[in-house]
Amino acid sequence: MTNDQQVVLITGARKGIGRFLAERFVRNGALVEGCSREMPDWSLEGYTHHLADVADESQVKAMMTSIARRHGRLDIVINNAGAAAMNHSLLTPVASVDRIFDTNVRGTFLVCREAARLMQRRRFGRIVNLSTVAVPLRLEGEALYAASKSAVETLTRILAREFGPLGITVNAVGPTPIETDLIRGVPSEKIQKIVDSLAIRRLGRFEDVANVIDFFVRPESDYVTGQVIYLGGVS
């Protein structure tokens, strides 16, 4: 590890956008740590995977201890791990409430808290949380998912204030629907309806999300915190 090599943690890195971001950060020269509840079926030099559930405090702490012992620092965290359920509220079991809020809210909070403890040692850190356009669009059938991401946005704004004096910024990106496992079960006409409501009428791409993340994590963005940027022209 060189002194200027950044250490990046990406949650939910096993597949989809998490994997895309992990590979991208590695290509750009970072040391990347990732986690998920199952092991990935791929490996990459410069990438270390942790078997960890972000909603489990002891597992998150153990992962951070491992990162601290091996690298002594953590520069960037992408809170990408997420759970969703697209269903009418009248048909939503309470188990879905727990699962979605455990991963999206409790998980995001735990990773932010433990990451900031490590980041504050060097008075530098960049945290990017994942929200969704389902929050401002108030999409029917996504009440729980959107409510959990509303909580993530509020966490983002308040943690930005609490962590600001420690040199840590906290921001969020709200993607439009992207072709991932998260929306695979959603009817295509519903996705098309969302796309039709955007200023830029197409599905999102991984690169669109990465572009906003690049902006948030660059050293020059040390005066940008507590912000939520939605893709596709949603506001």
CB atoms closer than 10 angstroms to residue 106: 18
User: Any contact of residue 71 with other proteins (CB under 8 A)?
Assistant: no
The continuous run of DSSP H or E covering 74 comes out as none
Q: Which CB, 63 or 86, lies closer to other proteins?
A: 63
Tell me how far, at minimum, the Cβ of 194 lies from other proteins, in Å.
41
Cα–Cα distance for residue pair 169/146, rounded to 1 Å: 23
Tell me how far, at minimum, the Cβ of 122 lies from other proteins, in Å.
12
Of 51, 57, 99, 109, which is closest to residue 79 (Cα–Cα)? 109
Size of site (CB under 8 A) for other proteins: 8
Positions 139 through 168 that interact with other proteins (CB under 8 A): 165-166
The continuous run of DSSP H or E covering 51 comes out as strand 47-51
Q: Which CB, 119 or 173, lies closer to other proteins?
A: 119
For residue 168, give the 3-state DSSP assignment.
strand
User: Any contact of residue 117 with other proteins (CB under 8 A)?
Assistant: yes
Three-state SS letters, 2-22: CCCCCEEEEECCCCHHHHHHH
Q: Which CB, 113 or 205, lies closer to other proteins?
A: 113
User: Any contact of residue 205 with other proteins (CB under 8 A)?
Assistant: no
Cα–Cα distance for residue pair 150/173, rounded to 1 Å: 12
Given 61, 99, 157, 205, the residue binding other proteins (CB under 8 A): 61
Cα–Cα distance for residue pair 225/127, rounded to 1 Å: 9
User: Any contact of residue 226 with other proteins (CB under 8 A)?
Assistant: no
DSSP 216: H
**145 has catalytic annotation:** yes
Q: Which stretch binds other proteins (CB under 8 A): 19-27, 60-68, 76-84, 195-203?
A: 60-68
Tell me how far, at minimum, the Cβ of 117 lies from other proteins, in Å.
5
Q: Which CB, 121 or 138, lies closer to other proteins?
A: 121
User: Any contact of residue 56 with other proteins (CB under 8 A)?
Assistant: no
Instruction: Name 43's bridge partners.
Output: none
Binding site for other proteins (CB under 8 A): 61, 65, 68, 117, 120-121, 165-166
